[in-house]
């Protein structure tokens, strides 16, 4: 199997850590560059002892240099904040390097929407038309031809995959969608901050980001494309005292209130039939975050409530793997002409 040289910019965050973990066992994507301004000079295995004696552990962490990246890498992961990635992506692409961006800089197709929600101007609008939104189940063919992939957010991944079959099969009224989602604390990033300290998170439960969480326009963009018209929905995120995982409970009115539970579930099964990572659970079974931990699986349950005329979809992913690093590697696999599941066939770590 041909190997491809990978660069990782932003090695110190949780997503970067997860990329390094997954690449250590990947048969074709080999880490060739690891970047962090704060940790430059350290050996990767020194900074992350869990990687010691694994492939890539002897790489010296360095400050990002696009010219050096063009020499060392075939593809680069940008695990950096929104507003930073756009400036890094331009010289990489000019240098012939493919890019998978973890930030929101290329997720939103409309630069005005980006500026409204992220409060700063987009300086690489010329790249928006060529950026592909990186959910493999929806855009695999386009990802395979792309030079720039916008890796989706974790909440949007969980929500869009949960809604996809209901929208594709015309089961629900799009304007009625309500997404009630919960995330583990790793979704808030690794930077030390009072709201995510152990004593602030343990033994409590809270909502945040209301009413304008930045993942809202990303979800609305993709749902609108699926619906074929502009859709506005309600999205409420919550922080729960667990390390990793996302659980989205999605409510929407049924177009046909007489739709039976079996008919609703059959629509989901037929939509995802043959898909390697979307698991529609048996009737009566409900998903749990522990059963997808460390994997690319999205577990989905479908419940229809005849009393209220609503469809309830329960969608669960691991935010760090399926919602970030694993999905980025799946996108890189496609961009390099590899099977999408290459290096991502691990069982859940329950």
Task: Give residue for tokens 């975050």.
Answer: 289
Bridging pattern class, strands 148-150 and 132-133: parallel
C-beta of residue 310 within 8 angstroms of C-beta of residue 253: yes
154 is catalytic: yes
Rounded to 10 deg, the angle between the 154-168 and 136-145 helix axes is: 110
Alpha carbon 143 to chain centroid distance? 14
C-beta of residue 148 within 8 angstroms of C-beta of residue 93: yes
| Tokens read off for 324 | 């970030």
| Tokens read off for 273 | 């039939």
Find the catalytic residue in 73, 154, 158, 321: 154
C-beta of residue 35 within 8 angstroms of C-beta of residue 64: yes
* Alpha-carbon span 62 to 69, nearest angstrom: 11
Beta-bridged to residue 144, according to DSSP, are none
Known catalytic residues are 154
């Amino acid at each position: 199997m041909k190997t491809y040289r990978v660069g990782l910019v932003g090695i110190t965050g949780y997503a970067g850590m997860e990329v390094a973990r997954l690449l250590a066992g990947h048969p074709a994507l080999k880490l060739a560059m690891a970047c962090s301004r704060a940790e430059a000079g350290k050996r990767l295995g020194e900074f992350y002892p869990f990687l010691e004696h694994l492939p890539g552990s002897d790489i010296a962490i360095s400050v990002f240099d696009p010219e050096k990246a063009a020499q060392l890498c075939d593809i680069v992961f940008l695990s950096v904040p929104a507003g930073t990635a756009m400036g890094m992506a331009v010289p990489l692409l000019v240098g012939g390097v493919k890019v998978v961006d973890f930030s929101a800089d290329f997720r939103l197709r409309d630069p005005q929407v980006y500026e409204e929600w992220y409060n700063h101007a987009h300086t690489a609008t010329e790249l928006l038309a060529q950026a592909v939104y990186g959910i493999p189940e929806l855009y695999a063919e386009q990802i395979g031809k792309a030079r720039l992939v916008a890796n989706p957010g974790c909440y949007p991944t969980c929500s869009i995959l949960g809604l996809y079959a209901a929208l594709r099969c015309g089961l629900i009224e799009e304007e009625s969608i309500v997404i009630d989602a919960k995330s583990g604390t790793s979704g808030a990033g690794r930077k030390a901050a009072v709201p995510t300290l152990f004593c602030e998170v343990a033994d409590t439960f809270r909502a945040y980001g209301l009413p304008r969480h930045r993942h809202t326009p990303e979800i609305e963009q993709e749902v609108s494309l699926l619906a074929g018209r502009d859709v506005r929905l309600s999205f409420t995120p919550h922080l729960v005292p667990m390390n990793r995982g996302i659980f989205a409970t999605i409510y929407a009115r049924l177009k046909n209130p007489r739709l039976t539970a079996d008919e609703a579930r059959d629509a989901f099964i037929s939509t995802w039939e043959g898909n390697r990572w979307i698991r529609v659970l048996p009737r009566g079974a409900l998903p749990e975050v522990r059963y997808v931990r460390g994997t690319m699986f999205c577990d989905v349950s479908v419940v229809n409530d005849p009393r209220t005329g609503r469809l309830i979809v329960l969608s669960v992913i691991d935010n760090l793997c399926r919602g970030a690093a694993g999905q980025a590697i799946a996108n890189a696999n496609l961009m390099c002409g590899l099977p999408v599941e290459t290096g991502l066939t691990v069982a859940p770590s329950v």
